Amino acid sequence: MSIPLASPDLDPITCQPWCENTDGHHQCCSGVEHRVHLSTEPTMLMADGSTEEQHLNTHLTRRADDPATRVFIGHDDGFGKSATLDEARRFALEILARVDGHKV
């Protein structure tokens, strides 16, 4: 299923205070990406012949047609899902519970 793209003749959106794309874009605000490198995963071979560590990443996002800010949770470049703020909070708490050993 494809996602329709915004028409280039639409007015630019009003950026969120956390948006890194403050150039009057039309489709989506994106915040600063935060990465955690995965030290036990093999490196990825990039198209230019270089290698890159695999990583998890997250940033805030908000589409022009969405009234709510979301948290993108991804793996490497481009793969991931957007979660509501509540869903992201619950996921973060589940991760912390695993790390702290409170739940199996």
Question: What is the band of 64 on the pLDDT scale with cuts at 50, 70, 90?
Answer: confident
Which SS3 state, helix, strand or coil, does residue 46 take? coil
- Dihedral (Cα; 76, 81, 85, 87), 10-degree rounding: -110
Q: Which residue has the higher pLDDT, 65 or 12?
A: 65
Instruction: Please state whether beta strands 70-75 and 55-63 pair in parallel, antiparallel, or not at all (unpaired).
Output: antiparallel
Per-residue pLDDT tens over the stretch 1-58: 555 554 455 566 778 888 887 666 778 888 999 999 999 999 988 889 888 899 999 9
Angle at 82 between CA 80 and CA 88, to 5 degrees: 105
